[in-house]
Amino acid sequence: MIKQYKFAICDDDIQFCNKIKSYIIEYYGENKVEISIFNSGEDFIKSKVKYDCIFLDIEMINLNGIEIATMIRNYDLDTYIIIVSGFPKYKNVAYRLHVFDYLDKPLDKTMLFKTLDDMTILLQNSQIDIYEYFQTNHGLVKLKVNDIMYFEYSERKINLYTNNDSIYQFYDTIYKLEERFKQYHFISPHKAFLVNIDYIQNIHLNDLILEKDIIIPISKLKKKQIKDAYLNAISKEMDQ
């Protein structure tokens, strides 16, 4: 699977968000990161996306950074949280929430890069396998995301196909699965299919050709979108 680090920046100062974004891209390179910007705590909480690292401001309208960090830690102990604030009085409570670092505003690029050095070493040494759970006809199963080739909607059920030729069935929709798996580089070429982009071998006319010579149709409306996503994935893989 193409490895990119996923960052979120949550700060009500748009210019400051863009500054952090530019520093992250300068450090890693544009093709190695995905960066989402949120200008309120509410918008961030609604996103429900798993990030490798979250930059949080402290003093924001309604939900502040400490409240957001507390909410994150209620369901996620692994994501690295970095506080960027001009208010040092919050440091003690922030570190009790196991934030990775607490950087002062105005942000010093050298200090930020040192923090990214330390964090990246830990990210590179962390467990790279990602799992998802499914309630299937075989009971509750835990599957490695990398092993899932594609999902197919048929007769009001989802068929999940893995790279070891296992097939699991469960009730769901392609739309909901697309929302759930978009962070893992899955694409939907057709309303009845969701495909792991890493298994695509080629695009031929109106079909995706997957490993094992599996053919998945591409709808006319999605042909350009799918082609662009596939070429973009190839480009990022070549840059690594």
CA distances from 72 to 34, 68, 75, 103, 174 (A): 19, 6, 6, 19, 27
Of 179, 208, 191, the residue nearest 154 (C-alpha): 191
Q: How far apart are the first and last CA of the chain?
A: 12
Computed on alpha carbons and rounded to an integer, the radius of gyration of the chain in Å comes to 20
Please give the backbone phi and psi of residue 134, each rounded to the nearest 5 degrees, phi first.
-140, 135
**What is the chain's mean pLDDT, rounded?**
90
Are 236 and 4 a contacting pair, CB within 8 Å? yes
Distance from chain centroid for Cα 99: 20
pLDDT (tens digit, 9 = 90+) per residue, 67-100? 999 999 887 878 999 999 999 999 999 999 999 9
Q: What is the pLDDT of residue 3?
A: 62
Q: What is the three-state SS of 199-210?
A: HEEEEECCEEEE
Cβ contacts of 133 within 8 Å, gap of 6 or more:
140, 141, 142, 143
d(CA 37, CA 9): 5
- Centroid of chain to Cα 24: 16
d(CA 105, CA 93): 18
Angle (CA) 82 123 196, round 5° = 110
Helix (H, G, I), strand (E, B) or coil at 73: helix
Nearest to 214 by CA among 237, 189, 180: 189
Identify the CA nearest to 23 among candidates 55, 64, 65: 55
**Secondary element (H or E) of residue 44:** helix 41-47
> CATH assignment of 5-125?
3.40.50.2300
* Domain 131-239 class, CATH top level: mainly beta
Give the pLDDT band of residue 2 (cuts 50, 70, 90).
Answer: very low
pLDDT of residue 229: 86
Percentage with pLDDT > 70 across the chain: 94
Q: Is 0.75 surpassed by the pTM of this model?
A: no
Q: What is the pLDDT of residue 237?
A: 59
pLDDT in tens, 122-169: 887 764 567 889 999 999 999 989 899 999 999 999 999 999 999 999
pLDDT band at 1 (very low <50, low <70, confident <90, very high): very low
Domain range list for the chain: 5-125, 131-239
